[in-house]
Structure 1
Amino acid sequence: MITLKAEKEIIEKYLTEISFLSSDEKVQNVEKPGEGNMNFTLRVITNSRTFILKQSRDYVEKYPQVAAPGQRVLREAEFYQIVKNNEGLNSKTPDILKVDEENHIMLMEDLGESSDYTFLYKEGKVISESELKEIIYFMADLHTSFTIENVQEPIHNKDMRALNHEHIFKFPYEENNGINLEDILPGLATVGRKVKLDAELKAAVSELGDKYLADGKHLLHGDYFPGSWLKTTSGLKIIDPEFCYFGIPEFEIGVCLAHLYMAEQPHNFIKMAMDLYKEKAPFDDIVMMKYMSVEILRRILGLAQLPLSLSLQKREALVERAAMIITKY
């Protein structure tokens, strides 16, 4: 398997070898298109077009010390292939141009100048009602449109699920996990210590983790948060479904709402999000709230930190409420 580098000569040589470039097409530049964590990703600019090149390796690009399933980009390609069968969902995802299975590389449509929605974590930033509707309807339509009954080859993605399971349901609760929460925010280690010593909470989280690992009926994006929502000149796009799998919708809804809470979006918007989803399909409110709470705990106390503007007091309040929801409901 080849390992690409962000050098235009290397990229042009590879693209020529796989017969992707036309006879008179030359790579003029390569650049990083965004702040992705998982994969080696480049915007390739030729004399006639631009496109995105994405390669997955057996480690996390941002954290090379963290092992990760090397074939994850192929699961992402499978997700896009399934979504092509729904015109509305397909219009909000990038087109796949070519997949190189041997080298774990995907070439895809360049969505142009864009920004993800992580700006929502900044103090005072609020999503628009129309954007919220699009985000929730995409999720609801995805879950209801593609199920194990109508998809010939459901995506199980067990290796990526195992990785996610480790970082969501186990890692934040380990006493010596290598994360210095004091470096993130002074006082946060004390908040984390209470969670790590709560045996009842850890047992309940472990049970939720077992349900996450079990196969479900509905196609999920798998990592549905502001970093996967893209604001482009042609509207909202959804990217990076490498954690996709067939599971229970409550996990995905919970993750989505957790980020609206951590981004301090108006409470009436969060209620609206739940109501918008329920226009399309029912879900179990309690199970959803438990997964929402697990996501809050892992983002505040785990490795995958967010650019939150929350004070220590607000983070502590979120952690305490999340623990209460998980153990008392």
Structure 2
Amino acid sequence: MIDLTEQSSLQTLRSLPLWKEKEELISAKPAGESNMNLVLRIETSLRSVILKQSKPYVRKFPQMPAPIERIEVEHTYYEIIQSDPTLKKYSPTVLLYYPNEHILLTEDLGKGIDFAALYQADEKLKSNDLESLVDYLNALHGLEITHFPDNSAMKNLNHEHIFHFPFLEENGFDLDTIQTGLQDLSMEYKTDLSLKKAVKGLGEQYLSNGNILLHGDFYPGSWLSTVDGLKVIDPEFGFLGDREFDLGVLLAHFDLTLQEGSLKTSFLQKYRHTISENLLNAYHGVEIMRRLIGIAQLPVSLDLGQKKTMLEKARNLILS
């Protein structure tokens, strides 16, 4: 396997069978911050494309193993949703899939930015972006899917970091390096046996098979703001499961970004599919917890008191 990096030469990239006849490569640069994969924006004499390569580890945490076949899942996901006119307009077109090198080549949606700015104080989600998110999940969760890659390895990775690692009393991750006092605060939840029992059961539900195609990581880092509106990217965690999981992740990030409570109400009023309120609440709560006391930290603008309030809300949602 050719192990590409952000510093890979144009000569190395040219050696790959990805390019059209007489297509010359002009430049290759990182295409934003990617947690999981190498992502390059490549300018050629004919076009601008995005090259993504999966590795046997997490890009942001190279010491953390990750299933390299996740790029196959992303490719299949994009191929499926291209048949739906609503989803197609929110997604990049696949140009080429090169499984030998775990590379996916897609159209360049332009130099957009993700929605990470929402984690800063006073940043609010615009009404047209909310409409796009509702539109996307209504269409995605309404697809009739007969086959999708198992993706159990990625589910197991996600399961570890959502339902297990954050609740270990000793996991080697000192939360005081994130915020002084957070480690002591976290122990209230790491030692709560009724909470941990509920989270364990929820994790088993997450790992069970379903028949609804999910994005699997539907949070602001997977939403891209472009000149053509909101786009949805990075579906390598996609799987067949509970609609409530995608929804719970979304609602948790409404909380973590301090959006108005009316945003949740508005979203759920426009969401067309039947859901379990208890299951939605549980997924909502555990996503808040894993983002505040797990390793997948975010640039949230919350003081320790706000985090305590939010963790209490999350516990109540899980145990409701």
Superposition TM-score, scaled by structure 1 size: 0.94
Is the CA contact 1:115–1:232 (under 8 Å) kept in the aligned structure 2?
A: yes
From 164, 167, 171, the counterpart of 1:170: 164
For the aligned residues, what is the CA RMSD? 1.3
**Matches of 2:257 and 2:175, distance apart in 1:** 20
Question: How many residues are matched?
Answer: 320
State the partner residue of 1:318: 310
From 109, 127, 132, the counterpart of 1:134: 132
- 1:103: how far off? 1.1
Instruction: Go from structure 1 to structure 2 and tell me whether the alpha carbon gap of 1:183 and 1:13 turns closer, same or farther (over 3 Å shift).
Output: closer
State the partner residue of 1:195: 189
- 1:322: how far off? 1.0
Q: How does 1:90-109 map to 2 (within 5 A)?
A: 90-109=88-107
**Matches of 1:189 and 1:69, distance apart in 2:** 30
Percent of residue pairs identical: 38
Q: Is the counterpart of residue 22 in structure 1 residue 17 in structure 2?
A: no
Q: Is the counterpart of residue 76 in structure 1 residue 70 in structure 2?
A: no
State the partner residue of 1:55: 53
Residues 134-181 of structure 1: CA deviation (Å, up to 9, x unaligned): 11220121011233xxx3x22321000000000000000112212111
Is the CA contact 2:81–2:88 (under 8 Å) kept in the aligned structure 1?
A: yes
Structure 1 runs, 4 residues or longer, greater than 4 Å off: none
Structure 1: any 5+ residue segments left out of the alignment? none
**Matches of 2:252 and 2:11, distance apart in 1:** 42
Is the CA contact 2:27–2:42 (under 8 Å) kept in the aligned structure 1?
A: yes
SS of 2:258's partner is coil
Is the CA contact 1:100–1:106 (under 8 Å) kept in the aligned structure 2?
A: yes
**Matches of 1:101 and 1:159, distance apart in 2:** 17
SS of 1:28's partner is strand
- 1:253: how far off? 0.4
SS of 1:163's partner is helix
Is the CA contact 1:126–1:265 (under 8 Å) kept in the aligned structure 2?
A: yes
State the partner residue of 2:241: 247
Is the CA contact 2:91–2:233 (under 8 Å) kept in the aligned structure 1?
A: yes
Q: How does 1:183-222 map to 2 (within 5 A)?
A: 183-222=177-216
**Matches of 2:232 and 2:37, distance apart in 1:** 17
State the partner residue of 1:307: 299
Is the CA contact 2:76–2:148 (under 8 Å) kept in the aligned structure 1?
A: no
